[in-house]
Structure 1
Amino acid sequence: MAFRGGAAGGLKHVLGITDQQAGEIVDALVRHGYLDLLVDPADRRRVRIGLTDRGRAVALALWDFLRMSRWRQFSFRPGDIVVSTPAKSGTTWMQMMCVLLILRTADLPAPMPELSPWLDDMACPRDEVFAALAGQAHRRVVKTHTPLSDIVMAPEVTHIVVARHPLDTAISLFHQSRNVDSPRGVGGATRPRPEPDQASAREWLAQWIEDDSSREGQPSSLPGMMWHWSDAWSRRDDTGVLLFHYEDLSADLSGQMTRLGRHLGIGTGGAGWADLVAAASFERMRADANRIQPLGPARNNTAFFRRGGSGSGTALLTDGELSRYHARAAALAPPDLLDWLHHR
């Protein structure tokens, strides 16, 4: 059946099993109440599979198990660098800085996903990710959106966490979720895609502030982000942990790259330094988006590097909504961390 084929195909890809095994698993999950058959009322011939509440809990546990298994099974090397950030808070920026320092050239030999693979991206089979990292001869930079509390923190490995004002991170997530390739006009010419109106963005942001999703179920929720940064903040005195703030990268990129290089034991300054810093600038990354961060045919690479500015999330909210955000944040993170997160 078509509905079973789609779900089975996903299981086959993630688990690395045969079509028959995947189909049998889907059938069993339907029989035992973990999956539900959803009939389209407008066309009863169209049936798709949805998770029941029971199935959602199991899927979350399975996803968490598979993700954690990758960290337990991965073979670290001394000198590895793990970039651990919530989505849209400076992940690619920090990856770029690390790669530039390691390779010492602004002319990168490959796109960022190849130079700095995402270890626990469940859309990519584990063996492929492991093989890509094992094949790298240079010092490795490993990407993840998983908090430090949920990964294996190996000795002689540097763990870098980038923080950003949560409201700016959230509004970037809002726009990223709507990042699809620009529509085509007559003759296939690309037409500019208008940004969502401010009312839609504000409504989404207000709902995001109220979202009580668990950090495991939704790491990009406010609780998920605050847990990620709170955990890193509690480790800020560890020699293997290094924290950066998005605002500091914006204000003094050269100084922050120098700080990074010093911590990693990599020399900075001198001939060619200005070119490396320029290559790490938000403007240069945006201009080179097709080369640095190819997202596939259905996404707009340049829009991935949308603006890189600050304050847009705060500016959208009313005084009452902003007060509500601060009350929620205060219940989720310690005061000293919030002072640091919110600094401009």
Structure 2
Amino acid sequence: MEQQMTPWRAPQRTYQSYYMDSTHWERYRPSAGDIVISTPPKAGTTWTQRIVSVLVFQSVQVPASVSELSPWLDSAFKPLDKMLEELEGQRHRRFIKTHLPVDALPVYSEVSYLVVGRDLRDMALSTHNHAAGVKRAGQPAVTKDIRAYWDEYFTRSIFDWEPNGWPFNSPTHHLQSWWAHRDQPNVLFLHYQDMLDDLDKEMRRVSAFLGVPVDEARWPELVLECTFSVMKAKQDEVFPGKNADAVAGFEFFHKGRNGQWRDVVADEQLALYRAAVATLPGDLHTWLTRSK
């Protein structure tokens, strides 16, 4: 009989919107060794899922796409019964995607949590590309004007109690909620910039955290497979169906670079960004805001 696990932290708040439903996690039945990838939208979610996939299978040839192997459990776009059926049927080490902050999740000692952060200025541009390029039922309208959108991103959330992230949930709240638990042995923070700068090093950190031995003979191939350029070239294989609700010209894997905001946003608009990150604890602010 499978041992029942008790969360050491229960959900404190319910998040329900046109694109997410945190109550889905009430039906999650954890298994020892499960991996939860928790990120704000457009912080490197699919990238991290791809990294975990090649580590779990120790191969660039995995049995299905990232979206099939790693279900987004709080997604409002796929029937929960179907996601749970697929998850329960998996026999490999399971890895699950969420965009929820820690206050919306049951947190278990036996489950590993990967939390990914990114400079909010770059996240804002990537979120605009996604929100303007994908039209989901019930999604609020998003302006095509990136400067006008910037003002919305840093002053609104889809949830009334959050300060930013429009039309999704707040990246500052998400990261701050997890930061308080960063010293837990089953929580690992990753930074998008570190992954860009030294993917080999960051993948080794993930491998050590998950207890996955590194096969040096195979390692270069695994790292190469997780570079942004290779993922983008194989996007139909890595993430099929990504454009089902997309307007013409939309790319799910956009540019994969940081610092693009410098050529887009007026200097005076940076005050909104500074106000958003000023609310963060000092050490989180320092960790998050380093950028090239």
Residue among 336, 339, 343 paired with 2:283: 336
Provide the C-alpha distance between the structure 2 equivalents of 1:223 and 1:140, rounded to a whole number of angstroms. Answer: 25
In the alignment, the residues of structure 2 paired with residue 121 and residue 322 of structure 1 have an alpha-carbon distance, to the nearest angstrom, of 32
- TM-score, normalization by structure 2: 0.83
Question: CA distance change for structure 1 residues 290 and 302 in 2, over 3 Å: closer, same or farther?
Answer: farther
Residue of structure 1 in register with 2:59 after alignment:
105
**Partners of 2:101 and 2:177 within 8 A in 1:** yes
Whichever residue aligns with residue 280 of structure 1, its letter is C
Q: Which residue of 150, 153, 157 maps to 1:208?
A: 153
1:225 corresponds, among 171, 184, 197, to 171
Q: In structure 2, what is the Cα distance between the partners aligned to 1:62 and 1:317? A: 31
Higher relative contact order (CA 8 A, sep 6+): 2
Identity rate of aligned residues, in percent?
31
What's the Cα RMSD here?
2.7
- Residue 268 of structure 1: aligned partner: 214
Q: Report the 3-state secondary structure (helix = DSSP H, G, I; strand = E; otherwise coil) of the residue aligned with 1:154.
A: coil
Q: Distance in 1 between matches of 2:158 and 2:111?
A: 31
User: Structure 1 CA distance, aligned partners of 2:188 and 2:160?
Assistant: 22
Bigger radius of gyration, 1 or 2?
A: 1
Match of 2:226 among 280, 286, 306: 280
**Higher helix residue share:** 1
* Aligned partners of 2:155 and 2:163 also within 8 Å: no
- Offset at 1:246? 0.2
Equivalent position SS for 1:304: coil
Per-residue CA deviation, residues 2-30 of structure 1 (Å, 9 max, x unaligned), is: xxxxxxxxxxxxxxxxxxxxxxxxxxxxx
Matched length: 267
Pick from 171, 195, 213: which aligns with 2:125? 171
Q: What is the distance in 2 between the residues matched to 1:179 and 1:77?
A: 36
User: Deviation at 1:119?
Assistant: 0.8
Give the equivalent residue in structure 1 for 2:187. 241
Q: Which whole-Å deviations, capped at 9, do the CAs of 1:206-225 have from their partners, x for residues lacking one?
A: 33223366466787349711
- Shift, 1:72, TM fit: 2.3
Whole-angstrom distance in 2 between the partners of 1:178 and 1:207: 13
How much has 1:124 moved relative to structure 2?
1.3
Instruction: Report the Cα distance in structure 2 between the residues aligned to 1:236 and 1:252, rounded to whole angstroms.
Output: 21
Q: Deviations over 1:97-137 (max 9, x none)?
A: 11110001112221111111111112211111111100111
When residues 144 and 255 of structure 1 are mapped into structure 2, their CA distance, relative to the original with a 3 A threshold, is same
Distance in 2 (alpha carbons) for counterparts of 1:283 and 1:62: 34
**2:172–2:276 contact (8 Å) kept in structure 1:** no
Equivalent residue for 1:319, pick from 255, 260, 267: 267
Distance 1:91 1:218, change over 3 A: farther
1:306 partner letter: H
Q: Is there any run of 5+ residues in structure 2 with no aligned partner, and where?
A: 1-13, 136-142
Normalising by structure 1, we get a TM-score of 0.71
Cα deviation for residue 262 of structure 1 reads 0.5
